[in-house]
Amino acid sequence: MSRNGNKQDLPISDYRALGQFRYQIRRFLHFSEAAARAEDLEPQQHQMILAIRAWDEPGAPTIGELAAHLLLKHHSAVGLVDRLVQHGLVERVRDGGDRRQVRVHLTAEGRAKLERLSNVHREELRSSGPVLVNALVALLHDLHVDTRVR
């Protein structure tokens, strides 16, 4: 037992694995934020247009669905969509079946901007991805998690 009565402290290798994994995630996020800003987008705006494009449910997402997906409060998602509409990257479209529902669609300009950003992210992941994966595998190994792909 440790001094505070809990289980013994974790081994230093666990702290190192956690620290390395967190560092690699932060490193990629730093790259991603800079790439978004180079396209005149805030990082959350980039996340929003990516979430819209990646939506895999029938129909375009609603603001509420986007808020839930991005772990945002509804009013924050509304503000993000408002700014994206002002930049001409998304548009609100009333749902044909339920006119109360508003769906969010990418415009051609939004798709083009997301395409550019996605290409630079893919290139970054080609180089930094293996390091991130190795950090995750090391962490999971220390946790005794089976990392074989099923």
What integer pLDDT is reported at residue 71 of this predicted model? 98
Identify whether the C-beta of residue 90 lies closer than 8 Å to the C-beta of residue 104: yes
> DSSP states of 62-100 as a string?
BHHHHHHHTT--HHHHHHHHHHHHHTTSEEEEE-SS-TT
Q: Where are the alpha helices (DSSP H) in the chain?
A: 12-38, 43-54, 63-69, 74-86, 108-142
Other beta carbons within 10 angstroms of residue 145's beta carbon come to: 10
Structural domain boundaries in the chain: 12-140
Q: Report long-range pairs for 85-89 (Cβ below 8 Å, ≥24 apart).
A: 87/40, 87/45, 89/45, 89/49, 89/113
* CATH dotted code for 12-140: 1.10.10.10
Per-residue pLDDT of the chain (150 residues), as tens digits, is 444 556 678 889 889 999 999 999 999 999 999 999 999 999 999 999 999 999 999 889 999 999 999 999 999 999 999 999 999 999 999 877 777 789 999 999 999 999 999 999 999 999 999 999 999 998 888 777 777 766
